[in-house]
Amino acid sequence: MKLNLNIQPLSSWITAVNEPFLIAGPCSAETEEQLVATAHLLKNTGKVTALRAGIWKPRTRPGEFEGIGSIGLEWLKRAKAETGLPTAVEVATAKHVEEALAAGVDILWVGARSTANPFTVQEIADALKGVDVPVLIKNPVNPDISLWIGAIERINNAGITKLAAIHRGFSSYEKSAFRNEPMWDIAIHLKTLAPHLPIICDPSHITGNRDLIGYISQKALDLDMQGLIIESHIDPSVAWTDAKQQVTPAALAELIDRLILRKPEG
């Protein structure tokens, strides 16, 4: 059985100057200086295709930094104007979608907690009707491929054809080396059901540990995933969110250089 999706190939909407296709940037936009400085360093690596930054952060428990909010859109605009990097943010409500589009954000992503909730996904899908923007859909926090597929279908049914899935691992109560278990089989299953749907790996949220990002990135490329989204911060030791898994732009460049790309067949 194959899913009935109307998808444009990644190459038709992303001109990746480098291989692998790489989205990078801080987990959260914290200050204008942090975001703009990180963006310049990432641009200067010559390895990054788009800049990510969370401005509305879905924290599992209350009382932590919940994102800088809409002002971050202005910082993203400046980062893009100065570096030329297209920008990507997480959207979790119709209002986020409207504000991000109005600010000229180039790529939207649906976070793992949102994908787990069909009401939220439908609200986002409704806000996207009639819009032509790339949307990346993270797997749900729980290992339920149907929820992932359902979210992809809802966004595709809204008319979004520039679609990709992000594999960010699945939460588990078991202790392991990873923050979120990769459960590669689920991503492979999705690939067999939707061979034309690009899958981008998020080794930052899978590992929760910067030391394991290279290992998971290589595994994703070996499995023919089409790209990577990696958190990068100008000074990870003081990051307001996900400090343990962020890497400096220089460390990111080294990590990418060490990856072995698959040779084209033939």
**Residue 198, binding choice from Mn ion, ligand PEP, none, Cβ under 5 to 8 Å by partner class:** none
Both tokens assigned to 32: 């204008």
Residue 43, class by beta-carbon neighbours within 10 Å (0-12 exposed, 13-18 middle, 19+ buried)? middle
What distance in Å separates the CA atoms of residue 225 and residue 81, rounded to the nearest whole number? 30
> Could you tell me the smallest distance in angstroms from the CB atom of residue 196 to Mn ion?
28
What distance in Å separates the CA atoms of residue 183 and residue 223, rounded to the nearest whole number? 13
**Residue 111, binding choice from ligand PEP, Mn ion, none, Cβ under 5 to 8 Å by partner class:** ligand PEP
Q: Is 47 a binder of ligand PEP (CB under 6 A)? A: no
Both tokens assigned to 30: 């914290």
Taking CB under 6 A as the criterion, which residues in 104-133 touch ligand PEP? Answer: 111-113
CB 24 within 8 A of CB 252: yes
Nearer to Mn ion by Cβ, of 106 and 242: the residue is 242
**Residue 138, binding choice from ligand PEP, Mn ion, none, Cβ under 5 to 8 Å by partner class:** ligand PEP
Kindly tell me which residue out of 80, 162, 167, 205 binds ligand PEP, with binding defined by CB under 6 A: 205
The helix (H) or strand (E) run that includes residue 167 is strand 163-167
> Could you tell me the smallest distance in angstroms from the CB atom of residue 208 to Mn ion?
9
What distance in Å separates the CA atoms of residue 13 and residue 33, rounded to the nearest whole number? 29
Binding mask 160-199 vs ligand PEP (x if CB under 6 A, - otherwise)? --------x-------------------------------
Nearer to Mn ion by Cβ, of 160 and 166: the residue is 166
Peptide bond before residue 182 is cis, with ω within 30 degrees of 0: no
| Interface ranges with Mn ion (CB under 5 A) | 27, 242
